Amino acid sequence: MGVLTGKTALVTGASRGIGRGIAERLGRDGARVAVHYGTNEAAAKETVAAIEAAGGEAFAIGQELGAPGDAAALWAAFDARAEGLDILVNNAGIAATRPFGAIGEEEFDRVFAVNTKAPFFLAQLGAERLRDGGRIVNVSTGLSRAALMPDLIAYSMAKAALDVFTRDLSKVLGPRRITVNAVAPGIVDTDINAGWLRGGEEAWAGAAAMSALGGVGTPAEIADVVAFLASDDARWVTGAWIDATGGSLT
């Protein structure tokens, strides 16, 4: 019996990268996992298949975030497959591709819509489905606490707002013994980062040098932190911002 047996989890952006790592870990721990995806249904089904192959239970639900009514539509799809929720992981996010002097209003608004607004309303509407003693974990970034990559200023701002949301929501939901925490990854070896991380030994070495541990993070290493926060072992941890950057901020 896994530590999350009998629990139901929703992980947004779970078709690949960190989200997939989280979904697979929660599935191994016994949770039934709703694997959310924005556009890549095939990748989401691969995540579901991986969870099932490991003896877990999962299902995919699709909904593009950052559009009006996205949270309500996602929860409607969830309700058609599950009854009640124990763990919500707001992982889905996008980064701005242009620096301060070049980013336009449309891209700026979309960065906040996906990284900040969507988690807010997913939690707001999800709270009525979340059972007492449940868990909300927001995936933030080390960039909200340090200007390591100032060209990602809009992304960092959006995640910093998510950090404030995490802190304040912990007080709102605390009376129901629902914990709300943020996990902040550093540079992680995902397909999103593959273009520059695997651009040569120099690129990888430069990324690894940012970490006190001298390496690049993996989705599994971030998922382990999320799994702890989702477990009963973390019942007395709430409103926290967990540095999972491998010491990149030291």
List, by residue number, the catalytic residues. 155
Instruction: Order across the sheet with 8-11: list the strands.
Output: 57-62, 32-37, 8-11, 85-90, 130-139, 179-185, 241-244
Using CA atoms, how far apart are residues 164 and 240, in angstroms rounded to an integer? Answer: 10
Q: What are phi and psi of 95, to 5 degrees?
A: -110, 150
The token pair that represents 130 in the structure block = 């979340």
Taking phi over 0 as left and psi of -120 to 50 as alpha, with beta for the rest, 94 belongs to beta
Q: Please, which residues have CB within 8 angstroms of residue 183's CB and are 6 or more apart in sequence?
A: 137, 138, 139, 140, 222, 225, 226, 229, 242, 244
